[in-house]
Amino acid sequence: MTTSSSPSLLVADDVADAIASGRAVVALETTIVVHGLPTPVNLEVAAECEAVVRAAGAVPATIGVVQGVLNIGMTPAVLERLADPGHHAAKLSARDLGLAVATHADGATTVAGTIAAAHTAGISVMATGGLGGVHRGAQVTYDESADLTALSRTPVLVVASGVKSILDIGATLERLDSLGVAVAGYRTSRFPGFYRSDSGFDLDWRVESPEVAAAAFAAHRLWSRAGFLLANPVDEERQLDARTHDDALSAALAHAQNAGASGKDVTPAVLAEFARHTAGASVRVNRDLVVANAALAARIAVALASLGS
Ligand code: PSU
Ligand code: MN
């Protein structure tokens, strides 16, 4: 059951109730489901994320645009329809939401699109796999994910396994610094590398518990309008081994370039080739880290709710 708050917005009843009573809610994105993971793993991961969020005592709010209506919380049937390749759902960053609504489009939200919608609805925690960032060669292409600028103006805590290893990680960390986004490692002093638990870059801050992460975010919000990136590394035993990772990375980057991928097609093209090159091993790691991030985000949302924040 869902309640229509306006003709272009549909907030699921359980999400609306939780927000109204100050209980924990975790926003989940849909780009990872529609454009990031292959079928049928994509829908399985989405269901697992919702399940681990509920198990931790929070309410999941999966966000996307369905026939021009921004859905905050959606049923598995609606998500399945959105993910159906026949529907050609668009990839929606924050700037695309108004256009998708006005043109009655179907679209999956990126981290940028998801936090814009979540914040407006009163949700302040989200989980994803890897945040978007500065692409390699951005000095020439200017390809820097709008996830970074969205985080710079949206006070939402995002749990991610760092940024995707296909990116220029050092440049991305510099941009997060310039943009005023708080960054901390969860039980690590090293920035995670998505498929690998350690990207090789140091972090200034680490937190050891969901309670401290929640307290840090609550304090951060007192004087900053920027977001907060909590970097949660994939389990070391579950990461992709270094050799497989590095081989797949060069192959995937070369493939995307030869295929002429540009703009919003770059990330999906590289991830798909990564999966092909590793015979699905990268998909298993991606699945593990996304589900772990959803579980951690839920514990932080619960801690934040108990702070009355
Ligand atoms: N995490 C994943 N897989 C993904 C993404 C995140 O494990 O596909 C998506 C998120 O929606 C993120 C987007 O916002 O990739 C970044 O896309 P781009 O580089 O085009 O900004
Ligand atoms: Mn881009």
Q: Are 127 and 296 in contact (CB under 8 A)?
A: yes
Name residues contacting ligand 1 (CB within 6 A). 29, 31-32, 35-36, 110-111, 128-130, 132, 145, 147, 264, 267, 271, 286, 290
Q: Specify the amino acid at residue 109.
A: T
Residue 96 to residue 90: CA distance in whole angstroms: 9
Residue 204 to residue 207: CA distance in whole angstroms: 11
127 pLDDT above the threshold of 90: yes
Please identify every residue annotated as catalytic.
29, 164
**What is residue 3's predicted lDDT score, i.e. its pLDDT?**
54
**Token pair in block for residue 281:** 């091993």
Instruction: Specify the residue with its C-alpha closest to ligand 1, atom 9.
Output: 32
| CA-132 nearest atom, ligand 1 | 16
Q: Residue 216: CA atoms inside 13 Å, Cβ hemisphere, count?
A: 21
Q: Specify the amino acid at residue 172.
A: T
Q: Which residues surround ligand 2, an ion (CB under 5 A)?
A: 143
- Domains contained in the chain, CATH given: 2-306 (3.40.1790.10)
**Which strand (E) or helix (H) includes residue 19?**
helix 13-20
pTM of full prediction above 0.95: yes
| Tens digits of residue pLDDT in 211-225 | 999 999 999 999 999
Mean pLDDT over all residues of the chain?
A: 96
End-to-end CA distance of the chain: 27
